[in-house]
Amino acid sequence: MATEHLSPLDLAFWRIESAAHPMHLGALAVFDAAPQGAPGSGPGPDADPDPAVRAAALLTARCATVPGLRRRIHDVLLPIGAAAWSPDADFDAARHVFLVRTPDPRAAAGPLMARPLDRGRPPWEAHVLAGPDPSSFAVLFKFHHALADGLGALALAAMLFDEGPTARGPARPAPEPQPTAAGSALRSLPGMLAARVQDVGQALEIGASVARAGLPLGVPAALTAAPARTGTRAVAGLALDLDDVNRIRKVAGGTVNDVLIALVAGALRRWLLGRGDPEPEGPGPRALIPVSRRRPGGAAKYGNRLSGYLLRLPLAEPDPLLRLDRVRLGMDRNKEAGPARGAGAVALLADHVHPLGHRLGGPLVAQAARMLFDILVTSVPLPGFTFSLGGSRVREVYPLAPLARGHSLAVAVSTYKGTVHYGLVADAAAVPDLAALAEALRAELDELVREVS
């Protein structure tokens, strides 16, 4: 069997990780617990009556059947600096699925997100969070970014839920291309050279776009975290009505995503002013907006297929509708240029770096994140059907993004069952009032609804 090396982007995510800045993404799923004996609630009369215990048992049993969750990453001799996937011969589901008793499941997610995954094992975990209310529990899923991007992680997690349209999960990754015969290689040489020249041109254009994007200007101090921070994390979630978002979109124009990004900009402004910070000035912080490069309807695969857009968040604009208009115009310009050339496409530069460069330069790249963007705002689309586990239905899903070095806040958003779910991850020392930011999102939505009514 051919060795399956990590792609350049997957390798970059693996190499830039540090103990204080783990590179896993996550999702906090909140369940309405099914009573024992309900249809689909799992094993028979001998099963534990505690829904959280049943959920942990189901996750433990099912993860062993998913090949993508039984693989670990290991270094290889050649190419120098590369890493590859291999089956974990000692795979033990008990090392990946945990039952946590906690008075506040949502608060428990912060310290768990701060804890790096074990790099010697398959890079994922599931924590079943059981609170004092037996009618509800939560599950925190953690997947290393080298294993999957948001859509890939969704496909892997779906294989652990009850049967559904996506429960079949992703297709097996395509095997590594095999070496071709010498004659075939010579015949393909002109095309290879043309592609290489095109790749170099793309890299130069992305680099020039990054330079034109400028230095951090108009970035509030609250959005930066000093390197000396301890790596502690805080997590907050907020659920908003998708109908309200669509009402704003229909009147103001643009897309749902434009409105969701504008809500972040307005909430940041409200939050800063509520803290007593100075009035925002300048062009505003640079938001990295990841863009999936997966083909619609194509077979799902592990790993990352990402590019991105870079967008200035207009915090200095006091009018909420004008803020939305500026976000819409900025996103329109990004889409017109495409996701493969602009300053937000820095992820594509990973393809032009030798594996040894990723290994030696990973720490430097991690420190450079602060110079490339100021805040991550990412969207993870969810399917329209209802997820369930042992008959317990998912009520809320909060996506959680990794926090880059030098950043204090990352925002992820998804829509599920007619509700928008914002997941906020922050450096707990730099942002001790994360709940206030979540409430600022709600206040911003309410004001925009009033403006368009």
pLDDT tens track for 126-178: 999 999 888 999 999 999 999 999 888 988 999 999 974 444 443 333 333 34
Q: Where are the alpha helices (DSSP H) in 135-232?
A: 150-158, 182-187, 189-213
Of the candidates 349, 400, 405, the one whose C-alpha atom is nearest the C-alpha of residue 378 is: 400
Contact 138, 29 (CB under 8 A): yes
Contact 93, 63 (CB under 8 A): yes
pLDDT of res. 58 = 96
CA distance 138 to 31: 6
- CA distances 114 to 110, 232, 234, 336, 400, Å, are 6, 6, 8, 37, 12
Contact 99, 128 (CB under 8 A): yes
Number of Cβ within 10 Å of residue 179's Cβ equals 9
Average pLDDT over residues 429-442: 95
Q: Where are the alpha helices (DSSP H) in 338-406?
A: 355-372
Identify how many contiguous H helices and E strands the chain contains and give both numbers.
11, 15
pLDDT tens track for 211-249: 555 555 567 878 887 655 567 899 999 999 999 999 999
Q: Is 374 helix (H, G, I), strand (E, B) or coil?
A: coil
For 90, phi then psi, to 5°, come to -105, 25
CA distance 177 to 179: 7
pLDDT tens track for 298-342: 445 678 888 899 999 999 999 999 999 999 999 999 999 888 877
* Sign of the four-CA dihedral 149, 287, 436, 324: negative
- pTM here is 0.86
CA distance 453 to 383: 30
